[in-house]
Structure 1
């Protein structure tokens, strides 16, 4: 549901000169959308920003120049990092083709057609079957591979944080999915930087009628790490057991967030494994994403019962 876009500066510059294209870019690219721009042909967002600004309209103070600058600032707020070679000496299209052969982009958006199956242009992007079209919600099978098939790119493209928010993230089924996920994001990576994984689950109090309570964060972390083995011994993994407060919001929705966006699932990561069971996954809008990020990363709404 999140796709890495290699974006030619010429396209961005042309959009800046047209009010409709400018408005569509602000709506259709960046955080809260399926389209996240690649750091190509650079690695660091700051280098990409400088590179793009160098290729903008000559008059930076003109209307199109100011729009272009705003567009560059927006797209570099959330960038897919890839350990690409510096292709500055090559034509952008030639460099994009070479890099796409090395590690395919989700989509290459160029001013004119190039030799790549995942290429679209401003003239072809709206055609039926275009690679530009992406779903904002999908039905999945409630299996490890079923969920990962939809959220895999969101997770694989992350190099900073993966937040898993699930009231029952302590369950055996959820722990099994986290192990499956770690193995999945280690393949076909664009950078050697592995993201830090943070799991938030809700305290469940045991009792005569309620059954057993939730285990501690330390227990859940140990269960995950023991199942991963020595290969992933250095991965950063934190776990928080949370309790709702009387003045804060409730802990109910199941979400997965990275620096590139987030999704909401109905049942969460505790999959049944039954091929006939289904769930729905929805892409978060930017404002809902920001709300969830603040709620859990800043922990303002919940009390920490245990952590590891």
Structure 2
């Protein structure tokens, strides 16, 4: 539900000079949207920032120049980090074609058309059936394949961390999905670095009426590793069992977060495996994403009952 965009600086320059295009860019690109800009032609956010600012309009203090700078700063807030290979060309479009054939972008957005099937321009992006159009929510089957399909790019493009939040993330069904997801984590990546995996689930206290309680974080972590068929020595997996506290929010919603955004699902990762069972996956708006990020990453607004780290 997110897509990596190779974005030509000339397009940003054009948009900065137009009220409508400037406003649309701020609304349709970056964190909380389906369109995340690639670090191409650089490998780091700081390098991309410097590169884009070199293409700032000549009068940087003009309205267009100020808008362009603001757009660049928004771009680098959340980018897809790509291990770009060095290209012996000064032409952005030529380098984009070479890089695209090495490791395809989802979309190449250029000022003029280039001969690549995933290319759009400002003139063609609104055409019927354009690959620029992305849905913010999808209906999925409650199977490993169905759920992974909805979050595949979120997982594939993550460079820093993948955060799974699910009250029942300790169940057999949930662990099965995490294993299924991890088996594909190295497929078609644009960065060699593997993101850290973080799982947060809610404590369930066992009793005669409610059955067994939730297992410890260490047990869940061991269960996840048990069925993986690749070398896990480079995989950082952290598991947290949490308890709600007074005067704080409840632990209820289910979601998957990365540095590029988040997806909410109704049933979470405990899939049923039945093709006839469906769920909805919804791309988070920025304010909801930031709330969840604060609750589970920046502050952990719950009591930690058990935890298992590398």
Pick the TM interval, shorter chain: over 0.9
Shift of 1:88: 6.8
Shift of 1:233: 2.8
| C-alpha distance in structure 2 between counterparts of 1:25 and 1:87, whole Å | 28
2:232 paired residue number: 232
| C-alpha distance in structure 2 between counterparts of 1:72 and 1:285, whole Å | 20
Per-residue displacement from partner, 1:180-239 (whole Å, max 9, x unpaired)?
111112111111100000000000010011111000000000001122145123200000
* 2:144 equivalent to 1:134: no
Normalization by structure 2: what TM-score?
Answer: 0.98
Equivalent residue runs for 1:163-202 within 5 Å: 163-202=163-202
| C-alpha distance in structure 1 between counterparts of 2:247 and 2:208, whole Å | 28
* 2:150 equivalent to 1:155: no
- Paired residues of 1:241 and 1:304 also in contact (CA < 8 A): yes
- Paired residues of 1:152 and 1:184 also in contact (CA < 8 A): no
| C-alpha distance in structure 2 between counterparts of 1:229 and 1:250, whole Å | 36
Equivalent residue runs for 1:1-308 within 5 Å: 1-87=1-87, 89-229=89-229, 231-308=231-308
- Paired residues of 1:111 and 1:122 also in contact (CA < 8 A): yes
| C-alpha distance in structure 2 between counterparts of 1:189 and 1:23, whole Å | 32
| C-alpha distance in structure 2 between counterparts of 1:93 and 1:298, whole Å | 39
Shift of 1:300: 4.2
Shift of 1:87: 3.4
Per-residue displacement from partner, 1:225-275 (whole Å, max 9, x unpaired)?
122145123200000000000110000000000000000000000101011
| C-alpha distance in structure 2 between counterparts of 1:221 and 1:234, whole Å | 15
* Runs of at least 5 residues in structure 2 that lack an aligned partner in the other structure: none
Per-residue displacement from partner, 1:156-183 (whole Å, max 9, x unpaired)?
0001010000000000111111111111
Shift of 1:89: 3.2
Shift of 1:118: 0.7
The alignment yields a C-alpha RMSD, in angstroms, of 1.0
Shift of 1:299: 3.8
| C-alpha distance in structure 1 between counterparts of 2:299 and 2:111, whole Å | 44
* Runs of at least 5 residues in structure 1 that lack an aligned partner in the other structure: none
Q: SS in structure 2 opposite 1:207?
A: coil
Q: SS in structure 2 opposite 1:275?
A: strand
- Paired residues of 1:177 and 1:269 also in contact (CA < 8 A): yes
| C-alpha distance in structure 1 between counterparts of 2:260 and 2:153, whole Å | 10
| C-alpha distance in structure 2 between counterparts of 1:131 and 1:87, whole Å | 26
Normalization by structure 1: what TM-score?
Answer: 0.98
* Count of aligned residue pairs for this structure pair: 308
| C-alpha distance in structure 1 between counterparts of 2:184 and 2:59, whole Å | 46
- Paired residues of 2:157 and 2:190 also in contact (CA < 8 A): yes
